[in-house]
Amino acid sequence: MPVGGRPAAAPAPRRTRHGADARHNASPEDIIAALRNNDVTLTFDPAAGTLHAEGAAAIQIVTRKEAG
């Protein structure tokens, strides 16, 4: 607890330059937990170089390649 006995204020939400909410970066553990909790099976097709998701519930995971 900070000095003065008051709890720390929650951090302000992060926003992009255009004012949209910035989402946090999920850890690999977060992704795996979401896939397991939603009974999603991932299958890699090496011939096509694609990853297929199959399961009962639809979830959305957006990935992006970091520049550099």
Beta carbons of 51 and 43 less than 8 angstroms apart: yes
Q: Where are the beta strands (DSSP E) in the chain?
A: 40-45, 50-55
Q: How many domains does the chain have?
A: 1
pLDDT at position 11 is 66
pTM: 0.46
In a domain, 54, yes or no: yes
In a domain, 31, yes or no: yes
In a domain, 66, yes or no: yes
In a domain, 8, yes or no: no
Q: Which residues of the chain have pLDDT under 50?
A: 1
Please name the residues in contact with 1: beta carbons below 8 A apart, sequence gap of 6 or more: 7, 8
In a domain, 5, yes or no: no
Which residue range(s) make up the domain with 36? Answer: 24-68
